[in-house]
């Protein structure tokens, strides 16, 4: 039987879906959700919940001991657009929460940990197309700098302290259950909410801005799959590139128009354009495929269908 699992930042976009998926897989009571605020009705009613600030080491340690936690997922983070507005808060949250979890694993209070990185670790000098696993990384955003630093710490704790850390560089994630907040790729979700309400959408990125994206079900499957992988197969202890699809706002709008012919979009780029321009167009995930069998299931067409069906119901 699987030991108890702790989710830190369980009420956010990824945390909510991950908690629900793990509860379905291992049983509701084996997955302890925690966050600094309460989450959706479904999350709160489906299993244990604890108020917990991931930047507080003692509180995290107390929780690990209370539930005899075996593995923990740290999903609390401030995303790219918001982090540009609050650099100090972003650094504090993104780095100290990771440090706490790494230290908790170092003293063996948890056995295995997951921490998400992002395509934001790359920057303007990184090759844009089919960005390799190992390449130039010169992030120009607060969020990207925190993720790149985090990756180095993950690798360090694995090498020096034998911490069993697993990590993925998520692209923009598209989901319908929980709203995103503060990201640059959020347009790819907002657009669906406007489309189903028959509203014109004003996109904050330029029409030809191509970014790597993934449907949430694929991201959750990738996360669970790397956590279940035999440790000897994991060659990369900083973070793995993973990929599914890449598209521009125009391509997404055209796919939506295939279902909602009178859907309208206009473009009014803001400060998020500079963030998007510094990120890759597409990602080479061959190492994840080779090491632990990663393969996406959802392309743009299938993602669009799923988003429209679920948001309508
Ligand atoms: C963001 O837009 O900040 C995130 C990310 C790509 O990590 N979705």
pLDDT digits (tens, 9 = 90+) for 56-99: 999 999 999 999 999 999 999 999 999 999 999 999 999 999 99
If one residue of 15, 78, 118 were mutated to test the ligand 1 pocket, choosing by the most ligand atoms within 8 A of its CB, it would be: 118
| Nearest atom within ligand 1 for CA of residue 119 | 6
Domain of 73, CATH number, reads 3.40.50.720
191 and 58 within one domain: no
| Pocket lining: 239 vs ligand 1, CB cutoff 6 Å | no
Interface confidence, given as ipTM, is 0.98
Averaged pLDDT, 275-288: 98
Measured by CA distance, the residue closest to atom 4 of ligand 1 is: 183
Nearest to 153 by CA among 77, 238, 232: 238
189 and 154 within one domain: no
Nearest to 214 by CA among 5, 17, 6: 17
> What is the C-alpha to C-alpha distance for residues 81 and 278, in angstroms, rounded to an integer?
13
Burial call 252-267: b when 16+ CB within 10 Å, e when fewer: bbebbeeeeeebebeb
* Residues marked as catalytic: 143
**pLDDT value of residue 229:** 97
Q: How many other β-carbons are positioned within 10 Å of the β-carbon of residue 66?
A: 12
> Could you tell me where the DSSP H helices lie in 210-299?
216-228, 249-257, 272-277, 286-292
- Residue 180, pLDDT > 90, answer no
108 and 40 within one domain: yes
Domain of 207, CATH number, reads 3.90.25.10
Domain residue limits at 79: 5-171
Name the domain boundary from 171, 196, 226.
171
- Residue 179, pLDDT > 90, answer no
**pLDDT value of residue 2:** 86
| Pocket lining: 94 vs ligand 1, CB cutoff 6 Å | no
Whether residue 32 is contained in a domain is answered as yes
| Nearest atom within ligand 1 for CA of residue 185 | 2
């Amino acid at each position: 039987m699987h030991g108890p699992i702790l989710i830190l930042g369980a009420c956010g976009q990824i945390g909510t879906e991950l908690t629900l998926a793990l509860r379905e897989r291992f049983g509701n009571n084996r997955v302890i959700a925690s966050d600094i605020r309460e989450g959706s009705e479904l999350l709160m009613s489906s299993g244990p919940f604890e108020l917990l600030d991931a930047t507080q080491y003692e509180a995290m340690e107390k929780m690990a001991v209370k539930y005899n936690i075996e593995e923990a997922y740290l999903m609390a983070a401030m995303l790219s657009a918001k982090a540009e507005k609050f650099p100090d808060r972003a650094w504090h949250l993104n780095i100290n929460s990771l440090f706490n979890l790494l230290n908790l694993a170092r003293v063996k209070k948890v056995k295995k940990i997951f921490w998400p990185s992002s395509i934001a670790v790359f920057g303007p000098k990184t090759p844009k197309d089919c960005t390799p696993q190992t390449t130039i990384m010169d992030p120009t955003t607060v969020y990207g700098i925190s993720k790149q630093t985090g990756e180095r710490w993950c690798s360090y704790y694995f090498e020096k302290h034998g911490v069993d850390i697993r990590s993925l560089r998520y692209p923009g994630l598209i989901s319908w259950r929980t709203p995103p907040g503060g990201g640059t790729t959020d347009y790819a979700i907002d657009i669906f909410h406007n489309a189903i309400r028959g509203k014109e959408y004003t996109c904050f990125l330029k029409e030809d801005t191509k970014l790597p994206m993934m449907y949430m079900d694929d991201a959750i499957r990738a996360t669970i799959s790397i956590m279940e992988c035999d440790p000897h197969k994991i060659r990369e202890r900083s973070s793995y590139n993973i990929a599914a699809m890449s598209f521009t706002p125009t391509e997404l709008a055209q796919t939506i128009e295939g279902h909602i012919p009178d859907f309208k979009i206009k473009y009014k780029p803001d400060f998020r354009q500079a963030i998007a321009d510094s990120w890759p167009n597409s990602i080479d995930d061959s190492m994840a495929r080779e090491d632990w069998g990663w393969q996406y299931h959802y392309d743009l067409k299938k993602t669009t269908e799923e988003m429209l069906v679920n948001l309508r119901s």
